[in-house]
Amino acid sequence: MTVAADLADERLVRSRGARGALDVVWNRLRGGDLGSLPVVVGLIVICTVFYSLDPRFLSSFSMVNILTYAAPVGIIALGIVLVLLLGEIDLSVGSVSGMAAAIMAVLVVKEGQPAFVGLLAGIAVGAVVGIAYAFLYTVLGIPSFVFSLGGLLGFQGVLLYVLGSDGTINLPDGSGLTEFARFSFVSGAAAYVGVAIVVALYVASRLWTIRQRRAADLSAPSLLGVGLKALALAAGLGWLTWYLGVDRGWSYSFLLFAALVVVMDLALRRTRWGRHVFAVGGNEEAARRSGVKVTRIYVSVFVLTSTLAALGGLLAAGQQTSVSQATGTTDTNLTAIAAAVIGGTSLFGGRGSAYAAMLGIIVLQAIQSGLNIVGVDSSVRFMVTGGVLLLAVAIDSVARRARSASGRG
């Protein structure tokens, strides 16, 4: 969105109040600024269809499973969101996740190293891959598609080499990683305390925003609006906490994923680094001429993308309780990329949010869970996922043309 459009929206809200705010929302939608609306509508449709076919789809057991098993690939998709914001791509995140998991498993199981050593080694490998990618891109000028495609093949070879002739390494029974990723949940009073903390942090952040905007003589959200949104958030999270608690509650793995999404969202929206990421993705040359350290942005994003891929691979290994030659295969790659795009991140760079990873992976996990429940062959899942991905890209393309026509960037 352009600065002129922002100022016009500010004037409309100031002059017409709540009616002006509604007009701003409508103008943005009409101008192609759809945000998360398509994916939210799609998720509602998916839930409605599968629930009509089999009510078990929306059972607390099913919802806990959807959220739990969405976390590992969701973390990988969060890294994909970052690299897509720059208008680049990383096709090797699945292979990096598998390689990191294999290195961790070998160190812990075969070499007898403490679990934290294996975990740190796996994450460090991801960071090193990101540094190497940044060098290939910023110094040698190799397109991200090319070197990440090479990484997809090369790191899968490293996975096979590290695992050796065994092919599969089982994690120790009762290991901390397995307990955290697969068997640990928050329910009861602790879960409701967590909800209260989340709502309190939301209110505090909105009050801080109001104070900053008023100090800058800009229109600010009303206290009544903040209060109503806080009540809605508390009611929604409270009900979901109760419903998930009927089964096992919130999984630790999903809470980790959610925390990473919130932190990354704040970093993208509230920090200079985040503004520079969007600037580089929108127009690299303009960002460079504005004084943005473009090389540093590329280095930070490539490192974060590979590090998050490694973290997702470690979490996936904990859920599966083993690492095999199939860990981090092409399915992981494509699912992570599809989740980022379906969640609303533009393939053209400069548009998207951290929450796109969460929304997108929940959509894909819901499709997989629903198809499994109704007994549809797994081959159909790939066809359905491909169709949903194509629809998401088509919506993004149409919205992009609408934004260009309306002058909203």
Residue 132's domain is classified under what CATH number?
1.10.3470
Note the pLDDT tens digit of each residue in 57-99.
Answer: 999 999 999 999 999 999 999 999 999 999 999 999 999 999 9
H, E, C per residue of the chain: CCHHHHHHHHHHHHHHHHHHHHHHHHHHHHCCCCCCHHHHHHHHHHHHHHHHHCHHHHCHHHHHHHHHHHHHHHHHHHHHHHHHHCCCCCCCHHHHHHHHHHHHHHHHHHCCCCHHHHHHHHHHHHHHHHHHHHHHHHCCCCCHHHHHHHHHHHHHHHHHHHHHHHCEEECCCCCHHHHHHHHCEECCHHHHHHHHHHHHHHHHHHHHHHHHHHHCCCCCCCHHHHHHHHHHHHHHHHHHHHHHHCCCCEEHHHHHHHHHHHHHHHHHHHCHHHHHHHHHHHCHHHHHHCCCCHHHHHHHHHHHHHHHHHHHHHHHHHHHCEEECCCCCHHHHHHHHHHHHHCCCCCCCCCCCCHHHHHHHHHHHHHHHHHHHCCCCHHHHHHHHHHHHHHHHHHHHHHHHHHHHHCCC
Q: How confident is the model at residue 213 (pLDDT cuts 50, 70, 90)?
A: confident
Predicted local confidence at residue 33, as pLDDT: 57
Q: Would residue 31 count as lying in a domain?
A: no
Pick from 163-172, 230-239, 337-346, 385-394: least confident: 385-394
Total structural domains within the chain: 1
Predicted local confidence at residue 21, as pLDDT: 55
Predicted local confidence at residue 26, as pLDDT: 52
Predicted local confidence at residue 7, as pLDDT: 44
Predicted local confidence at residue 400, as pLDDT: 66
Pick from 54-63, 93-102, 162-171, 191-200: least confident: 162-171
CB 290 within 8 A of CB 266: no
- The reply to whether the predicted model has a pTM over 0.85 is yes
Q: Would residue 35 count as lying in a domain?
A: no
Q: Would residue 318 count as lying in a domain?
A: yes
Average pLDDT for residues 322-339, to the nearest whole number? Answer: 87
Token duo for residue 291: 């004084």
Range of the domain at 102: 59-187+248-406
Spatial separation of the C-alpha atoms in residues 40 and 319, rounded to whole Å = 27
Q: What's the chain's average pLDDT?
A: 87
Average pLDDT for residues 129-147, to the nearest whole number? Answer: 95
Predicted local confidence at residue 1, as pLDDT: 44
Predicted local confidence at residue 282, as pLDDT: 87
Note the pLDDT tens digit of each residue in 246-304.
Answer: 999 999 999 999 999 999 999 998 899 999 999 999 889 999 999 999 999 999 999 99
Q: Would residue 9 count as lying in a domain?
A: no
Give 248's contacts (C-beta < 8 A, 6+ positions apart): 64, 185, 187
Q: Would residue 1 count as lying in a domain?
A: no
Average pLDDT for residues 7-18, to the nearest whole number? Answer: 51
H, E, C per residue of 364-404: HHHHHHHHHHCCCCHHHHHHHHHHHHHHHHHHHHHHHHHHH
Average pLDDT for residues 45-53, to the nearest whole number? Answer: 91
If one compares 133 and 385, the residue with the highest pLDDT of the two is 133
Predicted local confidence at residue 217, as pLDDT: 78
Whether residue 37 has pLDDT greater than 80: no
Spatial separation of the C-alpha atoms in residues 389 and 381, rounded to whole Å = 12
Whether residue 393 has pLDDT greater than 80: no
Q: Would residue 3 count as lying in a domain?
A: no
If one compares 203 and 408, the residue with the highest pLDDT of the two is 203
In the block, tokens 């934290």 appear at 116
Predicted local confidence at residue 238, as pLDDT: 96
Q: Would residue 11 count as lying in a domain?
A: no
C-alpha pair distances (Å), 366 with each of 46, 132, 316: 8, 35, 18
Q: Would residue 358 count as lying in a domain?
A: yes
